[in-house]
Amino acid sequence: MADGSRYPDRSAAGKVLATHLQHLAGRPRLVVLGLPRGGVPVAYEVAESLDAQLDVFLVRKLGVPGQEELAMGAIASGGVRVLNRPVVDHLGITAAQVEAVARAEAAVLDDRERAYRGDRPPLELAGATVILVDDGLATGASMRAAAAAVRRLRPEHLVVAVPVAAAETCRAMEEEADEVICGLTPSAFHAVGLWYEDFAQVGDDQVSELLTRARTPD
């Protein structure tokens, strides 16, 4: 990787991440789920390398009212909600405030799911080996919500895989999954985007295009 430890872009990061997941190749039911939007280009490369099915799994951050960049939790497909209780308690956020934010984000989640998947149903995950992929983990709130939601769908083996993560978040994620793969765990982490040369925003059209490409036989 360029600059010693930075990924050129998400696609390159996905190809590197796939090398850490080759022990899963050949499993009879292998599904890669990308967290939109940044996780989908990474997940696409993983799925291509492992000859696995690709789908999207949606998670929405619950931002603190008035400080939306600060996460007080997240929601995921399937109605799962994960709250960052220390933030909620410290800021005195009420249950009504949490519900209002959750309702608004659930509406966005539903709209995006229809836009990405169209009329196609989500992939069957019961009994499958499922790899949840994002472009990195900072607090891990979104990934925890995704892992909790996938657990409800009874996969045989659940893997969380990211190209880069805060070391403490990577360790904590071991409580949520059967296996956790973090390509890089730099001691001075700061932010996911610092570990990519190109960390441009991924658009909805790009997500849809990658999902369609993955479903189209060669």
Lowest mean pLDDT of 4-13, 33-42, 77-86, name the range: 77-86
pLDDT value for 3: 43
pLDDT value for 217: 57
218 — pLDDT class (breaks 50, 70, 90): low
Q: In the predicted model, what is the mean pLDDT of residues 184-204?
A: 94
Q: What is the pLDDT of residues 95-142, one digit of tens each?
A: 999 999 999 999 998 888 888 887 788 888 999 999 999 999 998 888
Among the listed residues 146, 137, 136, 154, the one whose alpha carbon sits nearest the alpha carbon of residue 75: 146
2 — pLDDT class (breaks 50, 70, 90): very low
Residue 215 has pLDDT above 90, yes or no: no
3 state DSSP class of 92: coil
| Residue with the larger pLDDT of the pair 144 and 45 | 45
Q: What is the pLDDT of residues 137-170, one digit of tens each?
A: 998 888 988 998 899 889 999 999 999 999 999 9
90 — pLDDT class (breaks 50, 70, 90): very high
Residue 4 has pLDDT above 50, yes or no: no
Among the listed residues 71, 66, 23, the one whose alpha carbon sits nearest the alpha carbon of residue 46: 23
Q: How far apart are CA 53 and CA 213, in angstroms?
A: 11
What domains, with CATH codes, occur in the chain? Answer: 10-58+126-215 (3.40.50.2020), 61-116 (no CATH)
Share of the chain above pLDDT 90, in %: 68
Give the predicted TM-score (pTM) of the model: 0.84
Residue type at position 105: E
Exposure string of 55-76, with b = 16+ CB inside 10 Å and e = fewer, is bbbbbbbbbbeeeeeebbbbbb
Q: Which helix (H) or strand (E) holds 163?
A: strand 157-164
| Residue with the larger pLDDT of the pair 199 and 59 | 199
Q: Which helix (H) or strand (E) holds 90?
A: helix 85-91
Q: How many CA atoms lie within 13 A of 109 on its CB side?
A: 24
Q: What is the pLDDT of residues 7-39, one digit of tens each?
A: 999 999 999 999 999 999 999 899 999 998 999
172 — pLDDT class (breaks 50, 70, 90): very high
